[in-house]
Homo-oligomer: A and B are copies of this chain.
Amino acid sequence: MKYVDKLRNSGLRPTKQRLQICEVLFNTEKTYHFTINDLALKIKNQLNNKISLATVYNTVHAFEKKGYLKQIPINSNQTYFDTNISDHHHFYDLKEEKLIDLENSDVGPINILKKINGKKIKSVEVLVKLED
Name A's B-contacting residues (CB within 8 A): 71-75, 79, 91, 93-94, 100, 102-103, 105-108, 110-114, 116, 118-132
Contact = CB atoms under 8 A, between A and B. Distances in A.
Given A121-B129, A127-B125, A73 B71 contact: no
16 contacts: A73-B73, A91-B116, A93-B119, A94-B122, A103-B114, A106-B112, A108-B110, A108-B111, A112-B128, A120-B130, A120-B131, A121-B129, A122-B129, A122-B131, A124-B126, A125-B128
A126 B118 CA distance: 21
B116 A106 contact: no
Given A126-B110, A126-B126, A130-B116, A71 B75 contact: yes
